[in-house]
Structure 1
Amino acid sequence: MKRQSVRDIVESLNDHDVLIRLNTFLLLYFGWIGFTVLYDHLKSHSRDVTYLLLKLPFTSYHFVVSTLDLTREVFPLYLLMKGIYYIGFSGSIALTVLFVLLYKRDLQKADELALGYLITYSICGTVYTFAHVYAPHYVYHLPGFYPDRTYLTQQEFVLPSLHNTVAAFNIIILWKYRRELKAKLIIALNSLVPFATLLLGHHWIYDALSGIALAMVVGKMVEGRKIHVPSAFRNVNVSIIKHATMLGFLAGGFLLILAMTMPKP
Structure 2
Amino acid sequence: MIRIAVANQKGGVGKTTSAINVATALAATGLRVLLVDFDPQGNASTGLGVDPGARARSSYEVMAGSATMADAVRPTAVPKLDIIPATQDLSGIEVELVDAEDRTSRFAAAMDALPPRWDVCLIDCPPSLGLLTINALAAARYVLVPLQCEFFALEGLSQLLRTVERARANLNPGLAIIGVALTMYDRRNRLSEQVAQDVRAVIGELVFETAIPRNVRLSEAPSYGLPALVYDHRCPGSEAYIALARELLGRLPQLAVAA
More helix by share: 1
Q: TM-score, normalised by structure 1?
A: 0.27
Greater relative contact order (CA < 8 Å, ≥ 6 in sequence): 1
Instruction: Give the number of the structure whose residues are more often strand, by fraction.
Output: 2
